[in-house]
Amino acid sequence: MAFLTLEGVSKEFGPFTAVRDFNLEIDKGEFVSLLGPSGCGKTTTLQMVAGLVEPTRGRISLDGRDITHEKPNRRGLGVVFQSYALFPHMTVAQNVAFGLEMRRVPQAQRTERVRDALSLVQLSSFADRFPRQLSGGQRQRVAIARALVIAPPVLLLDEPLSNLDAKLREEMQFELRRIQRKVGTTTIMVTHDQAEALSISDRVVVMETGRMTQVDAPYRLYEQPSNAFISSFVGKTNLIAGTWRRDGASGAVDVNGFLLEAAAPEIVAGEPVTLSIRPEKILLRTAGAGRLDGRIASRFFLGSQWLFTVETPLGTMTVSTPNQGDEPPKEGSPVGLDWAPSNLRIMPGNAVAA
């Protein structure tokens, strides 16, 4: 039996439906991310779990208990907001102890639990400092400690890393996962950052216009997207419109007479399809040595890799190659593009913008 369950949960604001028929089961100790663009309904979903927004329809249960209409303070969940919401006039220790004081936990027990929480987030020596004396990453860890010190059954994180700079954000992703694994608290995180969701989640829920579009482990979500939206939103990809052709046991996508070998057994011959291939799955070859010839239009050095745009008969394609230490082909150079047919993902319908 799942620890946290959302059954047919929907939220309407007048004529606007923010979340529609949301169904999800989360196991105890699992880390699940709600991923999607702004306005897709992920924060509203989190707020309904927290009790800050009342569902229009549906049921939310926690460990077998119906909490759909319970007040937030009765649910006992830990929440970390995007802004951290620390009290500026309180020290770090006082901020962390606040929830325990509201629950009338005895002083001796409060002191011990605050000490353990600060040790967990590696801030023991900062107990007497004020928020203004901390870095962004330290403030974030204080907010996490304050949420965890009450021993919540579920930890809810609303864009917890969005206010950090790029380098610190990456570091804190793994710090957050370390803390969650050590404590074992069931966690739901809202994010619009694909790398963030993929790197630290057990499962990712992709949302689009209020609906769940795919729920999967990060690796499967990236490698086997169920539609073109997920393919392009979760990481970079090349999308090409074509028509599915079948010849015996094999198949191919027809792109203006150019046939690309692929596998899509569930699609009927003659149906429009969208082909997706990740930039890092494409190999640069000498002209004439690949499956497709092209010419490099631009190249960008990203440190650990090179990113190319290549003009081809199928349109402009993006290619990513590891930095091997040698200078790659220059702009204007003819090249061949190659890939394994198994790396092509074929999805029904033409989802490529005109």
Q: Which two tokens stand for residue 216?
A: 């999967």
Residue 107's pLDDT is 93
Point out the least confidently predicted range of 141-150, 159-168, 189-198, 229-238: 159-168
Residue 60's pLDDT is 98
Which phi and psi angles does 3 have, rounded to 5°? -80, -45
Point out the least confidently predicted range of 83-87, 149-153, 194-198, 312-316: 83-87
Cα separation, 228 vs 245, in Å, equals 19
pLDDT per residue as tens digits for the range 288-338? 999 999 999 999 999 999 999 999 999 999 999 999 999 999 999 999 999
Residues of the chain within CATH 2.40.50.140 domain(s) are 283-337
Reference 340, options 287, 279, 281, 300; nearest CA is 281
Task: Please say whether the beta carbons of 275 and 240 come within 8 A.
Answer: yes
Point out the least confidently predicted range of 38-42, 91-95, 250-254, 318-322: 250-254
Task: Please say whether the beta carbons of 97 and 90 come within 8 A.
Answer: no
Global pTM reads: 0.89
Residue 265's pLDDT is 66
Residue 248 clears pLDDT 80, i.e. is over it: no
pLDDT per residue as tens digits for the range 103-140? 999 999 999 999 999 999 999 999 999 999 999 889 99
Cα separation, 41 vs 64, in Å, equals 25
Work out the pLDDT band at 161, boundaries 50, 70, 90.
confident
Residue 250's pLDDT is 64
Residue 352's pLDDT is 72
Q: Which two tokens stand for residue 301?
A: 């050095």
Share of the chain above pLDDT 70, in %: 98
Residue 247's pLDDT is 58
Q: What is the DSSP string of 28-49?
A: TT-EEEEE--TTSSHHHHHHHH
Residues of the chain within CATH 3.40.50.300 domain(s) are 4-228
Strands 186-191 and 31-35: parallel
The tokens 């229009």 sit on which residue?
A: 56
Residues of the chain within CATH 2.40.50.100 domain(s) are 236-278+339-354
Q: Which two tokens stand for residue 83?
A: 């802004």
Mean residue pLDDT of the chain comes to 92
Query: What distance separates the 2 farthest-apart alpha carbons in the chain?
Result: 77
Residue 76's pLDDT is 92
Torsional sign, CA 72, 73, 76, 82: positive
Q: How many helices and strands, by DSSP H and E, does the chain display? A: 9, 20
pLDDT per residue as tens digits for the range 92-102? 999 999 999 98
The tokens 């901020």 sit on which residue?
A: 95
Share of the chain above pLDDT 90, in %: 77
Most confident of 12-21, 84-93, 153-162, 258-267: 12-21
Spelled out in words, what is the top-level CATH class assigned to the domain 283-337? mainly beta
Q: How far is CA 252 from CA 155, 261, 274, 310, 352, in A?
A: 47, 4, 12, 22, 18
Q: Which CATH code fits 236-278+339-354? A: 2.40.50.100
Cα separation, 336 vs 8, in Å, equals 49
Q: At 81, is the secondary structure helix, strand, or coil?
A: coil
Residue 354 clears pLDDT 50, i.e. is over it: no
| Residue 116 identity | D
Q: Which CATH code fits 4-228? A: 3.40.50.300
The set of long-range contacts for 122-131, using a CB threshold of 8 Å and a minimum separation of 24, is 123/92, 126/92, 127/91, 127/92, 127/93, 128/91, 128/92, 128/93, 129/91, 129/92, 130/88, 130/89, 130/90, 130/91, 130/92, 131/84, 131/86, 131/87, 131/88, 131/90, 131/92, 131/95
Reference 51, options 15, 1, 11, 82; nearest CA is 11
Neighbours of 12 (CB within 10 A): 14
pLDDT per residue as tens digits for the range 54-113? 999 999 999 999 999 999 989 999 999 888 789 999 999 999 999 999 899 999 999 999
Q: How many CA atoms lie within 13 A of 37 on its CB side?
A: 8
Work out the pLDDT band at 165, boundaries 50, 70, 90.
confident
Work out the pLDDT band at 261, boundaries 50, 70, 90.
confident
